[in-house]
Structure 1
Amino acid sequence: MKRLLTLVAAASLMPALASASILWKGDFETGNTSQWTRQQAVANSRLQVVTDVVRDGRYALKATVKQGDDPIGASGNRNELLYVTHETQGKEYYYKWSTLFPTNYPVNDSWQVITQWHQESCCGSPPLEFFVRGDKINLRVGGNTTPVLWQTSIDKGNWHDFVLHVKWSSDKKAGFVELWHNGEHVLPKTYGANQFGKELNYLKMGLYRDAAIKPEASIFHDGFTMATTLEDVMPPAPAPVEETPAPTPVPDDTNIPAEDPTPVIAPPTPNTPEQPSPQLPTTGQPPTTGTTPVSKNPTGVPDASEAATGGCSASGTSGTLPFASALLLLGAAALRRRRAPARALAPRAKR
C-alpha cells in the first residue's frame, strides 16, 4: 500500500500536457519508457523500445516473456509497464492504443493478459482486462466470474487499434464501457461495475500469462493516449477518394460508309418525241445494209439514191432534208424521161 501511495505522489508531479483534453501519453516517442511510472520486468531487455515494428511515430514497445519470468514473486509470468492513472468513482475517460501479435506468436489455450486496469489490492482478477485465450482477444469487466463482452481474432501480423470509453464506478448501473476496434464501433455502451468498492485502479501493459505456458512470446504495443474527449483519441477518417469522371464515349464510325458531302443530281432527261423515219419512194434498188455504198457515178455527183442515203441521220430535228431528197428524186426521174427520146432519135438522124 505504501508503494502504491508513493507511485501516486510521483505521478502527480509529472508535467501537464499542452492539450487540456489529453491527460497523458505513453506512446514511447521519448525513445524509452520514461513516460510510464515504473516497470515490472526481470530485465530491461524484456521491455524494449524498438523502431522496426511501429504503428505510430518512430517508437513502439516490444514486451517479451519467457517461462519463469516472475519479477514480483506473484502468480504467473510477466513483464509489464505500470502507470498510475487515478481512475476514481464517477470519472469518465477515453483511452487509445495499438497492439500487434507477430506471426510467430505461440497460440496457447490458457490465459494471457495484454492490457489491464488493476485494483489497488495485490491479488485477484482485475476489474477490466483485455486477455488472450487460444487465438482470440477478449474484453471482460468485473473479474473472472463475469462473461466476456467482446471477442476477436488475434490476427497475427496485423495491428489492432483500440479506443476504449469508460465511466468508472463500482455501481453496476452507473459504470459502463464502450469500444471501437480498427475504427469500427464494436461494443456500444454496456453497463456494469468496473471498480471494486472504493479501490483505485491503475494501468498495466505488456504481457502477463499463465506460468504453465512454455514457449517464449513477444507482443508489441504503441501509441497509448488517455483523454477526456473522443476526438483526441479517435483516428481521423480517411480522406474520400475523388472519382475520376468517366471519359465521354466517342462514337465508333469505322463501319459507317462515308457520305459524299456534295451529292450529284443527274439532270432531267428531256422528253423529246421520237421522229418517224421518212418513207422514201421505191426506186427499184436493193435495200441498204446500213453501210454507205461506194458511188459508181464517174462524175462524182451523187445520184438520187446516194443523196437519199448518204451519211446524214434521218432523225434530225428538221424535216427539210427528207423533203429536199424527194424533190431531187422527182427531178431525176423527169430528166430520165426527157433524155430517153433523145437517145432513141439520135440513130435515125444519122441515116
Structure 2
Amino acid sequence: MPHLLRLVAMLSLLPALASAGTVWKGDFETGNISQWTRSQSVANSRLQVVSDVVREGRYALKATVRQGDDPIGASGNRNELLYISQEKAGSTWFYKWSTQFPKNYPSADSWQVFAQWHQEGCCGSPPLEFFVRGEEMNMRVGGASGPVVWQAPLDRGQWHDFVLEVKWSSNKKVGYVQLWHNGELAVPKTYAATQYGSEFNYLKLGLYRDDSIRPEAYVYHDGFTMASKLEDVMPPAPAPTPEPTPEPTPPVVSVPELPTTPSEPEVPGTGPEAPVAETPAPVLGNQPGLGVMPGDDLPGTGAPGDAPGGAPQGCGASATGTGGVPLIAAGLLAVAALVGRRRKPAEARARARR
C-alpha cells in the first residue's frame, strides 16, 4: 500500500514537471484579471475579460481607451494591466501572447503602445515596447533614441501571435532580443541594451496612447505566458498534411495468344466461294485423228456432233491402221488372231501325241 501511495504522488507531479519552464501565466482563463499584479484604469469597463473574441481557451482581455482616460495623472491616455516580473540583469526569458486590432481601430500618425516592459523609474520611454503608428506595428529597443528593429502591417481583424526572447542587460553587447511573429522568425538575435542601469523592468499590457488621439479605440489580448524555455511558449509546428496514397495500378498481364491450328493450304478454286467445276462435255464431231461416227456430216443434222433428233452419241477412239474400221471390230479381229495363233501349236501337239 505505501508503494501505491508513492506512485500516485509521483503521477500527480507529472503535469507540474511537464510545464516546469512556465513561471507565470496571464491568459485570463480565471475569467478575471486576478493573475495580474494590479491595473491602471479609469473604470473596470475599460479592462474587460470577454469570451466572444478569443485566441485560445475561453477568455481574453478587451482594453478600451477614450480621450481623457488618465488614471495616474501622467502623459497620454491609458488603461493597462501590470505584472511586476522584476527580471534580473543577465537573465533570459521567453514571452508569448496574442493581440488583435479590430476593423474599426483608428489610424493616427502618433504612438499607441499595446505592450511594454517599463523601467522602475517614473519617467521616459521604456527600454522595450511594441506600438502602433499609422498602419504599422513597431518594436523598439533602448528607449526613445533606440532603434526600431521590427515593423509589420496592422492587419486589422486578424490575431497576431508573438513569441519574444529577451536577455536582460544594460550592456548593449550583452542584452539581445529575438522575435517570432505568427510562427515565423521576424527578428533574429539582435543585440541592444534592454535595461536602464540597475533598474528592474515590469510588464504592462493593454493600450496606452498619445492624448491627442480622439476616437475611442479598443484592442484584444490573450494567452500571455512567461517561461524559461522556448518550447514552453512556441506553438508546435502544424503537422504536415499527409499526401494521398495513390491507388496501386494493377499490373498489365499479357495474355499469350493461343497457337492457331495451321490450316491446310487452300487449293486454288476449292474455297467456299470457288465455282463448282463442271465436267466438260465430250467434244464430238470431226476433229483431226478421230474416226467418223455413223450419222456425222449428214445434211440437216444441225450443229456439229448432234445426232439427228438430238440423241447423244458415243465418243470416237483412235483407229489408226484399221482403215477406218470401228474400234470394236478391230479389237475382235485381234482377239481372233490371237486365238488362232494359240490353237495351231495345240493342234500340232495333239497330232504328235497320236
CA distance in 1, matches of 2:193, 2:307: 141
Alpha-carbon distance change, 294 to 234 in structure 1, aligned in 2, over 3 angstroms: farther
Matched to 1:136, the amino acid is E
- Residues 116 and 203 of structure 2 are in contact (CA less than 8 Å); yes or no, is this contact kept in structure 1? yes
Q: Contact 1:280/1:326 (CA < 8 Å) preserved in 2? A: no
SS class of match (2:204): strand
Q: Is residue 75 from structure 1 mapped to residue 72 from structure 2 by the alignment?
A: no
Give 1:190's aligned residue.
190
What is the Cα deviation at residue 126 of structure 1?
A: 0.3
* 2:62 paired with 1:65: no
Q: Contact conserved, 2:285 with 2:304, CA < 8 A, in 1?
A: no
Q: Which residue of 2 aligns with 1:235?
A: 235
For the structure 1 residues 74 and 294, does the alpha-carbon distance in structure 2 shift closer, same or farther, using more than 3 Å as the test?
A: farther
Residue 311 of structure 1 corresponds to none
What TM-score do you get using the length of structure 1 for normalisation? 0.73
Supply the AA of the counterpart residue of 2:111.
W
1:296 positional shift: 3.8
For residues 242 and 265 of structure 1, what CA distance do their matches in structure 2 show?
A: 58
Matched with 1:85 is 85
Which whole-Å CA distance do the structure 2 matches of 1:35 and 1:66 have between them?
A: 25
1:331: how far off?
Answer: 5.7
Residue 139 (structure 2) aligns with:
139
CA contact (8 A) 2:48 2:62 kept: yes
Which residue, out of 266, 269, 280, partners 1:269?
A: 266
The answer to whether the 8 Å contact 1:55/1:223 transfers is yes
Counterpart in 2 of 1:48? Answer: 48
Correspondence 1:283-294 to 2 at 5 A: 284=296, 286-287=303-304
Q: 1:215 corresponds to which residue? A: 215
Q: Is this contact kept in 2: 1:99–1:161, CA < 8 A?
A: yes
Q: Structure 2: which 5+ residue stretches go unaligned?
A: 1-15, 252-256, 270-276, 287-291, 298-302, 319-324, 330-354
Counterpart-to-counterpart distance in 2, 1:204 and 1:244: 48
**Cα shift at 1:246:** 3.1
Structure 2 partner of 1:160: 160
- The Cα shift of 1:147 comes to 1.7
In structure 1, runs of 5+ residues without a counterpart are 1-16, 252-259, 309-324, 335-351
Report how many aligned residue pairs link the two structures.
Answer: 285
Task: State the shift of 1:250 in Å.
Answer: 8.1
Q: Is the 8 A contact 2:317 2:327 kept in 1?
A: no
Amino acid at match of 2:266: T
Alignment map for 1:2-41 (pairs within 5 Å): 19-41=19-41
Query: RMSD across aligned C-alpha pairs, in angstroms?
Result: 3.3
Structure 1 position 264, deviation (Å): 8.2
Where 2:231 maps in the other structure, the secondary structure is helix
Distance 1:155 1:226 in 2: 25
Identity of aligned residues (%): 60
Question: TM-score of the superposition, structure 2-length normalised?
Answer: 0.72
Give the structure 2 partner of residue 204 of structure 1: 204
Matched-pair contact (CA < 8 Å) for 1:206–1:221: yes
Read off the aligned partner of 1:268 and give its amino acid letter.
P
Give 3-state SS (helix, strand or coil) of 2:25's partner: strand
Distance 2:120 2:81 in 1: 16
